[in-house]
């Protein structure tokens, strides 16, 4: 047992005894190397949100539901909301920095009686959210790659098989990087920041200098046209918020990286909030020049593959080569987004399986010693996404469903610990190192109202009337996973699942030992009492 713990220590790029001791108090032994910096986690969060990529692949939504006002001011509105949600999560993360993220927080913030069910519901929401946001990123990436062909061959329309195969190829590349490039993830995440910033600047300059005609300021900042949506004019604006809400969704996923960061109680909360702030500013800088040079909206919406950004670039630059040059920058962002999202999804799967909440948990919770990653959790995340992609054979609007489910599940999972914290008087976060202070209650409650609205909004189709192949099946996919979760709860969960090893109903800030764990010496890394399979601490340290 001691030998195994020492081997784990030797494989680490860096060691943070204080963080490992704090993790031990929360019931786990650290099995993953702490070699990610705050900038790296910020880069991963920024990569998952992938602002230019996310806004480009979902542009058809806002072109249908309001155009300029929805595109620009919808983005500003959702950016402010997301920043508030991120701050609410960062406040909790500073108290409980563990890979379990919102799943663990819901358990710890609850009473002993309700901790298991709270963590079960939150865990499945965040797990499905992680899987589907990775799916939607890589699926739309596959579509965007194929759309590049239309720059030269305008009548090319990829069929279902071509789309699925390209999507699987993107998933395979992302999985390969996560396996064989695991030790370079820190560098990859940092490069993402510079690539994205450079891409936005290059696109901005190119579009504004090469455009033959430009829209006036009144169009960019005040034009509103929802006539093609079929929705009542005002309601179309809210339906169109899916573009911004989907893009600004993945910031909470990086909480799953807490066990791979030194000083996670300080660095991860900062990364969560700063990444959203950076994403909000990046989006405004990206969208304004696009709106100034926006070609005929009808022409863009008639693109057969549903991805108008390539045609927009081609129209403005006046050549297929110029359009592809700008599109290539967006595809580079896709690479970082796909890799980062799959990394976070695999860590979320590992953390949830560690507590026996997923069928086959014994396999998914294993950490592969060769690569220092939860390899089988990575394989499961990839396989689930590849299988879900097959929905495209039944509905060419499958991407709408994926983005909707991802946004619904992640938003709801973020709301669970915030709701529990509010119901218990925010006592557990009063001494947080990232406190919201006297504004905490107001911010938390406002965010909960938004999340409830978002869950309803993002089950709706982009436009009316709706045919079967264009329906938003988000609610169906969501119901499918809910059925699996409930069934597994009755098969296994209600008998054996107790949640994370910390469902203690204690006063906030009180020094306690974890259930079955004696007080940990903060000057050393736990080496004994580690369960080989789960990574949890056993009877004694």
Q: Cα angle vertex 126, ends 487, 119, to 5°?
A: 65
The CATH class that applies to domain 38-496 reads mainly alpha
Q: What is the DSSP letter of 29?
A: -
How far is it, in rounded angstroms, from Cα 45 to Cα 261? Answer: 14
pLDDT of residue 5: 35
Bridge partners of residue 530, in order along the sequence: 537
How far is it, in rounded angstroms, from Cα 95 to Cα 421? Answer: 12
Provide the 10 A C-beta neighbour count for residue 222: 12
pLDDT of residue 59: 94
pLDDT of residue 459: 82
pLDDT of residue 525: 39
Phi, psi of 156 (to 5 degrees): -75, 125
First to last CA, the chain: 12
Provide the 10 A C-beta neighbour count for residue 327: 24
pLDDT of residue 517: 33
How far is it, in rounded angstroms, from Cα 206 to Cα 196? Answer: 15
Residue for token digits 């394989």?
379
Provide the 10 A C-beta neighbour count for residue 13: 13
pLDDT of residue 36: 81
How far is it, in rounded angstroms, from Cα 111 to Cα 104? Answer: 13
Q: Cα angle vertex 147, ends 458, 317, to 5°?
A: 105
How many angstroms separate the Cα of 373 from the Cα of each of 34, 276, 488, 532?
A: 12, 27, 26, 15
Domain chopping of the chain, boundaries: 38-496
List pLDDT tens digits, range 3-62.
Answer: 333 333 334 444 567 777 777 777 777 777 887 888 888 988 888 899 999 999 999 999
pTM for this entry:
0.84
How far is it, in rounded angstroms, from Cα 186 to Cα 174? Answer: 15
Burial class of residue 321 (count of CB atoms within 10 Å of its CB; 0-12, 13-18, 19+): exposed
How far is it, in rounded angstroms, from Cα 86 to Cα 487? Answer: 32
List pLDDT tens digits, range 186-200.
Answer: 899 889 999 999 999
How far is it, in rounded angstroms, from Cα 474 to Cα 404? Answer: 5
Burial class of residue 14 (count of CB atoms within 10 Å of its CB; 0-12, 13-18, 19+): exposed
Q: What is the DSSP letter of 35?
A: -
How far is it, in rounded angstroms, from Cα 145 to Cα 338? Answer: 13
Which spans in 26-159 are helix H? 38-49, 51-57, 59-64, 68, 74-93, 102-109, 115-147
Token digits for 75? 């983005």
How far is it, in rounded angstroms, from Cα 117 to Cα 122? Answer: 8
How many angstroms separate the Cα of 413 from the Cα of each of 28, 86, 452, 501?
A: 22, 12, 11, 20
How far is it, in rounded angstroms, from Cα 214 to Cα 211? Answer: 7
**Which residues in the chain come in under a pLDDT of 70?**
1-16, 397-400, 468-470, 502-541
- Scored b (16 or more CB within 10 A) or e, 253-273 reads bbbbbbbbbbbbbbbbbbbbb
How far is it, in rounded angstroms, from Cα 13 to Cα 74? Answer: 42
Q: Cα angle vertex 428, ends 534, 260, to 5°?
A: 40
């Amino acid at each position: 047992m001691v030998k195994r713990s020492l081997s784990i220590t030797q494989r680490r790029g860096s060691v943070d005894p204080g963080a490992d001791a704090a993790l031990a108090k929360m019931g786990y032994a650290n099995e993953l190397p702490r070699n990610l910096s705050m900038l790296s986690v910020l880069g991963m969060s920024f990569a998952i949100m992938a602002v230019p990529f996310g806004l480009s692949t979902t542009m058809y939504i806002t072109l249908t539901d309001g155009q300029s006002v929805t595109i620009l001011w919808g983005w500003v509105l959702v950016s402010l909301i997301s920043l508030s949600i991120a701050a609410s999560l960062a406040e909790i993360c500073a108290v409980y920095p563990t890979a379990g993220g919102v799943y663990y927080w819901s358990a710890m913030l609850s009473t002993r009686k309700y901790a298991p069910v709270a963590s079960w519901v939150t865990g499945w929401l965040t797990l499905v959210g992680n899987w589907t946001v990775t799916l939607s990123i890589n699926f739309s990436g596959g579509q965007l790659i194929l759309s590049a062909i239309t720059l030269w061959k305008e009548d090319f329309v990829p069929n279902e098989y071509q789309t699925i195969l390209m999507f699987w190829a993107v998933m395979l590349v992302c999985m390969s990087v996560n396996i064989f490039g695991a030790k370079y993830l820190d560098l990859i995440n940092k490069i993402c920041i510079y690539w994205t910033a450079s891409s936005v600047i290059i696109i901005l300059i190119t579009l504004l200098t090469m455009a033959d005609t430009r829209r006036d300021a009144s169009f960019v900042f005040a034009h509103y046209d929802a006539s093609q949506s079929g929705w009542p004019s005002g309601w179309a604006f809210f339906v169109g918020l899916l573009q911004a809400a989907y893009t600004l969704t993945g910031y909470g996923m990086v909480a799953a990286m807490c066990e791979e960061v030194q000083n996670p109680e300080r660095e991860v909360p900062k990364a969560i909030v700063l990444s959203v702030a950076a994403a909000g500013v990046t989006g405004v800088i990206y969208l304004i020049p696009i709106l100034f040079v926006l070609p005929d909206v009808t022409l863009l919406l008639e693109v057969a593959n549903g991805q108008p950004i390539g045609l927009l670039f081609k129209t403005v630059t006046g050549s297929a080569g110029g359009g592809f040059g700008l599109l290539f920058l967006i595809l580079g962002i896709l690479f970082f987004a796909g890799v980062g999202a799959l990394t976070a999804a695999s860590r979320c799967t590992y953390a949830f399986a560690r507590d026996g909440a997923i069928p086959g948990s014994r396999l998914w919770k294993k950490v592969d010693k060769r690569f220092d990653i939860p390899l089988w959790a990575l394989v499961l995340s990839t396989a689930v996404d590849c299988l879900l992609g097959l929905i495209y054979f039944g509905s060419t609007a499958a991407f709408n469903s994926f983005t909707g489910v991802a946004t619904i599940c992640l938003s709801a999972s973020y709301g669970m610990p915030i709701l529990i914290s509010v119901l218990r008087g925010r006592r557990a976060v009063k001494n947080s190192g990232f406190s919201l202070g006297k504004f905490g209650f107001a911010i938390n409650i406002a965010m909960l109202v938004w999340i409830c609205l978002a869950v309803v909004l993002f089950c709706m189709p982009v436009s009316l009337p709706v045919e079967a192949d264009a329906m938003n099946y988000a609610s169906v996919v969501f119901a499918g996973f809910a059925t699996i979760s409930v069934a597994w709860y009755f098969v296994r969960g209600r008998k054996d699942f107790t949640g994370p090893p910390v469902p203690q109903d204690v006063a906030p800030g009180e020094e306690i030992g974890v259930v079955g764990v004696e007080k940990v010496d903060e000057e050393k890394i736990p080496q004994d009492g580690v369960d080989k399979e789960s990574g949890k601490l056993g009877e004694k340290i």
